[in-house]
């Protein structure tokens, strides 16, 4: 399974989404005061949120269905090329030089077209993946911000993008983020 986004892109996307959500959000309710001088920090593994949340799973399944459709089309092109190649091998010696050259040109054109189609499919899948994930990340950033405020956290970092070298289990709020996100997303879908 392909890794969805690189850690840097995830951190940048999440940071941009949190920044825009913060800029648009009304003034937050006062967070519980932290102990004097203590900074409460937590981390979220966004890759795990994307892999385990209902919306992340649905996005991945949608991409897999689209990939399967594209793969069937590419398989048909491959079979067509294989038949043309076999025809050239079997009938090639019996063909005139012009006919053989025409078949070879036809084969090369179809091969190039198939390669271009495969490249186009790859780009299309990447674009769709980015769009679906950007939506999930934007929603998740709002959840992260709300959970952080509710818990009185001063800082929440993305585990991979921030290169967390050590994180105590109690500082990992990923499962809570998944639970809250799925609850909120489920409530939205029922409306």
Residue 135, pLDDT score: 85
Residue with tokens 């048909």: 76
Three-state DSSP string of 76-126: HHHHHHHHHHHHHHHHHHHCCHHHHHHHHHHHHHHHHHHHHHHHHHHHHHH
CA distance 134 to 139: 9
Most confident of the ranges 27-36, 79-88, 92-101: 79-88
CA distance 131 to 112: 29
Residue 139, pLDDT score: 86
Residue 10, pLDDT score: 40
Q: What is the pLDDT of residues 16-63, one digit of tens each?
A: 444 343 334 444 444 455 455 677 888 888 889 888 999 889 988 999
Q: What tokens appear for 172 in the block?
A: 């990992």
């Amino acid at each position: 399974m392909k890794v969805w986004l690189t850690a840097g892109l995830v951190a940048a996307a999440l940071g941009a989404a949190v920044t825009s959500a913060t800029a648009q959000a009304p003034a937050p309710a006062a967070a519980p005061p932290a102990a004097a001088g203590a900074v409460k920090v937590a981390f979220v593994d966004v890759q795990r949120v994307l892999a385990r949340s209902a919306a992340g799973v649905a996005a991945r399944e949608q991409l897999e269905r689209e990939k399967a459709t594209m793969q069937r089309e590419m398989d048909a092109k491959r079979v067509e090329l294989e038949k043309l190649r076999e025809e050239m091998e079997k009938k090639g010696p019996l063909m005139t030089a012009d006919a053989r050259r025409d078949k070879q040109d036809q084969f090369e054109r179809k091969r190039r077209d198939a390669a271009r189609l495969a490249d186009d499919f790859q780009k299309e899948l990447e674009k769709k993946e980015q769009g679906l994930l950007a939506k999930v990340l934007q929603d998740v950033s709002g959840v992260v911000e709300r959970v952080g405020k509710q818990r009185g956290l001063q800082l929440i970092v993305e585990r991979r993008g921030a290169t967390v070298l050590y994180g105590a289990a109690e500082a990992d709020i990923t499962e809570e983020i998944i639970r809250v996100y799925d609850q909120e997303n489920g409530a939205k879908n029922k409306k």
